[in-house]
Amino acid sequence: MTRFVTRRPLAFSVLATVVPLLAMAFLREGLATMTLPDLANRLVVEAVFCGYVILVLSLLRWWGEAGFARLKAHRRLIFYLPLFVLPLLVLAGNGVKTAGAGRMIAFALFVLMVGFAEEGLVRGIILRALLPAGAVRAVLLSSLIFGASHLANIWQGASATATIVQVIFATFLGIGVAGARVYTGTIWPAIGLHWLVDLFDVASRGFQLPSSQAVTPVRAVVPIALTSLCALYGLWLVRRSRQIAA
């Protein structure tokens, strides 16, 4: 496996993304035949995704190299802070609708697993696999793969327009987060950021699973504009890290 990663990092990265997407799709189909609540199904599927990421990290022995090393207090961590403006804007713009304590805890756990699995795969495994070819290339390619993976939402009933918007802003946000991950060397704040964005998003809907919504100009332009700034910031961090290394 390590030899394949070394020789074909891009092929490995695409394969490492497609395999869990297909597995999760089949698992969702199987769980749909059962009488479990939809949220319970999502928790099961996401737990399997987390297990997949843990397995790959362990097989490659990349826990430290993927950014999961012990979090150290050093001055570079402050460069994650500008990205945390995004969840605050989500909170300020959408507000919060509460639900029962059990449901809120279940959703908090669900989005935490989403954050761990997606960041662990993309900003951990895939970014590490692509880094030997150059930091800028790794950041851009890993973010494009992350954005493109959201095309799978179409098969879950999302509209094509909403999905394209999500692909664009996920790619831009991915560049920002990947840049911070490269510059700081740690993935833990990225997981926390992902968790907060998703948590405030579901909280704005009263802790309900997302439903298909019409894409208005505001719903399209605002997230793309904000995340494009994140992308520019991420690229600046990558350039800064290269200058310091030089």
Span 29-40, mean pLDDT?
A: 88
Does 214 score more than 70 pLDDT?
Answer: no
In the predicted structure, residue 218 carries a pLDDT above the cut 60? yes
In this model, does residue 30 exceed pLDDT 70? yes
Return the H-helix or E-strand segment holding 22: helix 9-32
Q: How long a stretch of residues is the chain? A: 246
Q: What percent of the chain has pLDDT over 70?
A: 96
pLDDT at 31 over 80: yes
Q: For residues 192 and 211, what is the distance between their CA atoms, to the nearest angstrom? A: 24
Choose the most confident range, by mean pLDDT, from 25-39, 62-76, 114-128, 206-220: 114-128
What is the per-residue pLDDT across 98-145, written as a single tens digit (0 to 9) for each? 899 999 999 999 999 999 999 999 999 999 999 999 999 999 999 999
- Report the chain's mean pLDDT, rounded to a whole number: 91
Q: Residue 212 has what pLDDT?
A: 61
Take residue 131 and report the two structure tokens written for it: 């880094």
Determine contact, residues 231/176, Cβ cutoff 8 Å: yes
The token pair at 23 is 């597995």
- Answer whether residue 246 shows pLDDT above 70: no
First to last CA, the chain: 32
pLDDT tens digits along 153-199? 887 777 888 889 999 999 999 999 999 999 999 999 999 999 999 99
pLDDT score at 222: 87
**Strand blocks (E) in the chain:** none
Would you say residue 70 has pLDDT above 60? yes
For residue 237, count CB atoms less than 10 angstroms from its CB and return exposed for 0-12, middle for 13-18, buried for 19 or more.
buried
1-13: b (≥16 Cβ within 10 Å) or e: eeeebeeebeebb
CA-to-CA distance for 68 and 142, rounded, in angstroms? Answer: 18
Across residues 67-86, what is the average pLDDT?
Answer: 87
Tell me: the pLDDT tens digits for 44-59? 999 999 999 999 999 9
The secondary structure of residue 205, as a DSSP letter, is: T
DSSP 3-state assignment of 150? helix
**Cβ atoms within 10 Å of 21's Cβ, excluding its own:** 14
Averaged pLDDT, 12-23: 96
